[in-house]
Amino acid sequence: MSLGTNESKYELVSGLEIHVQLNTNSKIFSADSASFGGLPNQNISTVSLALPGALPKLNKEVIAKAIRIGLALNCSINQINHFDRKNYFYADLPKGYQITQDNQPICINGFVEVELADGSTKKIGINRIHLEEDAGKSIHDQNVNYSLVDLNRAGVPLIEIVTEPDIRSAEEASALLSEIRKLVRHLNVSDGNMEEGSLRCDANISIREFGSEAYGTRCEVKNLNSMRNVRTAMNFEFTRQVEVISNGGKIIQSTLNFDAEHGTTSPMRTKEEANDYRYFADPDLPPVQISDEWLAKIKSEMPILPSEISKQLISEFSISKADAALFAEDIDLLNYFNLALPNVNNKKSLTNWLIGPIRALLNEREIAIVDYKIKPSQMADAINLVDDKKITQQIAIQQLLPAVEESQIADVADLAKTLNLLITENVDELDSFIDEVLNNYPQQVMAYKKGKKGVLGLFVGDVMKLAKGKADAKKLNELIIEKLK
């Protein structure tokens, strides 16, 4: 992209407020189901309806999930938590307030490192993560005379991850979002599904001249629900703000809507019109104390994070970053790998097989590794047979593994033997094959003896055919060279 002279003078500055819907079974303050996609108002009770006298009761799982993501984002965990009421009036908020955490969020001061397309990494500060409940949904387009309200979503647990204004481009914003999505899935905190709204964000955007320390006035674009919308909104706002400032105008701090169809933003309200939420501590909910023991237990149960897994795989098996990412980002593949690992003699072979031929095979059949009938231990056995030169890799993959799938016989080595797939150890037999082939090519044998070593491949290929592929190519080479001396 070539920037106009004005655009090249400015840099984009952005911080995101990322809402993540937690994948708990029940809502944050009631036993109502938190699942997506039910019939309207199917998952509600007195609490979701805010009937007088209905009292909230905290779902402990919500705290545990928030801590997990907080730890993954290198945050400090606040062990004393309060809930606050954020007061506003709207039809899909029957209580007249949303329960949230105002100035004592559960996680603070973290950071996340994201990878950019050019291979560099960027560190983005996490200001805080707080807990809150979602509101219901107003539906305005189903009836001309009425608006409808669906309260299934009311009370579904959310965390809001607030970053520092460290983002400098749309690319960094999408890299951050995909990293967060990857982490919440890896930690089983959320399904991270942007289409269904489980992951959505508000983007705060300002500009400043390159070299300037001070931040410019920001605008906040609300409710961006796809990676693409985030990028489009950011680029649009950047260009718009540069234009305003270049023309001598001023940016007014405001909240903006995003129009996905046109890729544009439009004003919703300015700071002067902003709601006064009159936050105060919710008297219905006691402070939540996270004990040292509980925190320690959650810490001890944290899985290794994808970035850590990548680093370990790269250093231990010297595989490429891209290959390491395949394992780090695919829990099922990683599980398979870990289950096979103890049984495999050469660990590097296991990574090679899974990245190479097995991945190709699964792709071709369009199946996931969890649906692959070869057990990890059977895979390890097959790999060991190849590494021990008992069977060729080609026969193992093309004949042995399919036979294992079909026969349901657990012992891979036994099956290979029964099916006569093992490399022939019968040197006499090989010897006779070699004689036969060399007899077929008297001219080529002469040529070889005169120094035309290239014909060796022809001999090896033909002997291999006679041996039905069941020969170790290297050994065969040696035997033939010996014979030709």
Binding site for ligand ADP (CB under 6 A): 13-17, 162-165, 204-206, 215-216, 218
Q: How far apart are CA 72 and CA 66, in angstroms?
A: 10
DSSP β-ladder status, 280-281 and 264-270: unpaired
Structure tokens at 350: 């296991």
Looking at the Cβ atoms of 86 and 153, the one nearer to ligand ADP is: 86
Looking at the Cβ atoms of 215 and 280, the one nearer to ligand ADP is: 215
- Give the nearest distance from C-beta 274 to ligand ADP in angstroms: 9
Q: How far apart are CA 3 and CA 10, in angstroms?
A: 10
- Give the nearest distance from C-beta 349 to ligand ADP in angstroms: 46
Candidates 166, 170, 173; CA nearest to 236 is 170
- What residues does 19 pair with on adjacent strands? 160, 200
Q: How far apart are CA 318 and CA 345, in angstroms?
A: 17
Q: How far apart are CA 117 and CA 127, in angstroms?
A: 25
- Give the nearest distance from C-beta 219 to ligand ADP in angstroms: 8
- Give the nearest distance from C-beta 181 to ligand ADP in angstroms: 18
Whole-number Cα distances in Å, 248 to 84, 210, 251 = 42, 18, 10
Q: Which residue is nearest to ligand ADP (CB)?
A: 15
Q: At what angle do helices 473-484 and 442-449 cross, to 10 degrees?
A: 80
Strand, coil or helix: 335: helix
Whole-number Cα distances in Å, 474 to 71, 168, 395, 436 = 51, 55, 16, 19
- Give the nearest distance from C-beta 15 to ligand ADP in angstroms: 2
Looking at the Cβ atoms of 124 and 383, the one nearer to ligand ADP is: 124
Backbone angles phi, psi at 469, to 5 degrees: 80, -5
- Give the nearest distance from C-beta 241 to ligand ADP in angstroms: 10
Looking at the Cβ atoms of 165 and 263, the one nearer to ligand ADP is: 165
Looking at the Cβ atoms of 101 and 152, the one nearer to ligand ADP is: 101
- Give the nearest distance from C-beta 340 to ligand ADP in angstroms: 43
Looking at the Cβ atoms of 158 and 379, the one nearer to ligand ADP is: 158
Looking at the Cβ atoms of 90 and 215, the one nearer to ligand ADP is: 215
Element (H, E) at 161: strand 157-163
- The single residue listed with the structure tokens 């004003």 is 267
- Give the nearest distance from C-beta 135 to ligand ADP in angstroms: 18
Looking at the Cβ atoms of 15 and 376, the one nearer to ligand ADP is: 15
Residue 386 identity: V
